[in-house]
Amino acid sequence: MRIAVCGSIATDHLMTYQGRFADSLVPDQLAKISVSFLVDDLQVRRGGIAANISFGMARLGHHPVLVGAVGEDFDSYRSWLERHGVDCDHVHVSEMRHTARFVCTTDEDMAQIASFYAGAMSEARDIELGPIVAAVGGVDLVLVSADDPQAMLRHSTECRTRQIPFAADVSQQLAVMDGASIRTLVDGATYLFTNEYEAHLTEQKTGWSAEEILDRVGTRIITRGRDGASVLRRGEDPIEVPIATDVQRVDPTGVGDAFRAGFLAGLAWDLPLERCAQLGSTLASYVLETVGTQEYTFDNAHFLDRFGQAYGAEAAAEVATHLG
């Protein structure tokens, strides 16, 4: 099963300032503000939802097709993703704009000054899935995750028109999109991913009840942080999957993406939904234990051992036949 992952591709530039921003601000002169903070630490982290999810799937041995828009500065990030098994051949490279970038400086009080430059991401709306699907010889599922909102609408509409099954993952774009747009993204999706808060927000903004949403999507997956995840299907008992065991919580950034990566890896192996959610939870635990969203490493034996501890030897044996 071949999966295309559409969504944002970005880097985070994180700096720390050994002082207090407040000490350099003159409240009655803010209209003429001009300050520069000398920072002594810069971390550049690879991120973006689609890149994180593709990376996670590739770590489990898949070769997902990454779909998104970047700038000419993408070369080293491309090389990293390709080296880990992500197909970047169809990423759109802008001639005008840089790759999306989040720049944030944190001071010693944890106060933050940040900017997000969407840049090339806005060109994702120019991407047509048809030629990509043809070039890779067919795609069985398209994940439409957070991206330029117009691109998200275009991708899900194109999937419906071309009758390509798609999974909807609106996540942070739920906050900015209106009800009609969210209905377009969700309606007819084979899978709908949200966390618990986003599940309520989806219901509120679309005006559809939980039952109506289940009528419109095949399978609904709701992640609940440390309370695990639920997999819901119309007329079936919910599948409740607890978190993996002995997880150290170091940096929660990217757990949702890793969960999706594991889940989609399970789908691509044709495993049952419960196994997919267990794979998601296990992969999420590695991200939770490392700083950054693509910095985790594991070998298959460790992964399977961890999986078995949480979900039993039989479930682990089922996964082992696929995992290298």
Ligand X SMILES: Nc1ncnc2c1ncn2[C@@H]1O[C@H](COP(=O)(O)OP(=O)(O)OP(=O)(O)O)[C@@H](O)[C@H]1O
Q: Which residues are catalytic?
A: 257
Report in angstroms how near the CB of residue 8 gets to ligand X at its nearest.
13
Positions 46 through 65 that interact with Mg ion (CB under 5 A): none
- Residue 281's binding partner out of ligand X, Mg ion, none, with CB under 5 to 8 Å set by partner kind: ligand X
Residues 166-203 as b/e (b if ≥16 CB within 10 A, e otherwise) read bbbbbbebbeebeeebbbbbbbbbbbbbbbeebbebbe
Report in angstroms how near the CB of residue 238 gets to ligand X at its nearest.
14
In the chain, what is the straight-line distance between the N-terminal and C-terminal CA atoms, in Å?
16
Q: Is 189 in the site for ligand X (CB under 6 A)?
A: no
Q: Is 14 in the site for ligand X (CB under 6 A)?
A: no
Q: Is 228 in the site for ligand X (CB under 6 A)?
A: yes
Q: Is 262 in the site for Mg ion (CB under 5 A)?
A: no
- Residue 292's binding partner out of ligand X, Mg ion, none, with CB under 5 to 8 Å set by partner kind: none
Q: Which of 8, 105, 156, 195 binds ligand X (CB under 6 A)?
A: 195
Question: Residue 256 and residue 268: Cα distance in Å, rounded?
Answer: 18
Cβ-contact 67, 88 below 8 angstroms = no
Q: Is 284 in the site for ligand X (CB under 6 A)?
A: yes
Other CB atoms within 10 Å distance of the CB of residue 58: 22
| Helix-helix angle 49-59:75-83, to 10 degrees | 30
Q: Which of 226, 250, 270, 301 binds ligand X (CB under 6 A)?
A: 226
- Residue 121's binding partner out of ligand X, Mg ion, none, with CB under 5 to 8 Å set by partner kind: none
Positions 238 through 257 that interact with ligand X (CB under 6 A): 243, 247, 249, 252, 254-257
Q: Which of 11, 171, 278, 285 binds Mg ion (CB under 5 A)?
A: 171
Report in angstroms how near the CB of residue 287 gets to Mg ion at its nearest.
12
Report in angstroms how near the CB of residue 247 gets to ligand X at its nearest.
4
- Residue 259's binding partner out of Mg ion, ligand X, none, with CB under 5 to 8 Å set by partner kind: ligand X
Other CB atoms within 10 Å distance of the CB of residue 283: 30
# chain residues binding Mg ion, by CB under 5 A: 2
Beta-carbon contacts of residue 231 (< 8 Å; ≥ 6 apart): 219, 220, 221, 238, 239, 241, 273, 274, 276, 277
Q: DSSP readout, 237-302?
A: PPEEEPPPSS---S--TTHHHHHHHHHHHHHHTT--HHHHHHHHHHHHHHHHTSSSSS-----HHH
- Residue 81's binding partner out of ligand X, Mg ion, none, with CB under 5 to 8 Å set by partner kind: none
Q: Is 256 in the site for Mg ion (CB under 5 A)?
A: yes
Q: Which two tokens stand for residue 207?
A: 């005006």
Name the site residues for ligand X (rule: CB under 6 A): 195, 223-226, 228-229, 243, 247, 249, 252, 254-257, 259, 281, 284-285, 288
**Chain residues in the site for Mg ion (CB under 5 A):** 171, 256
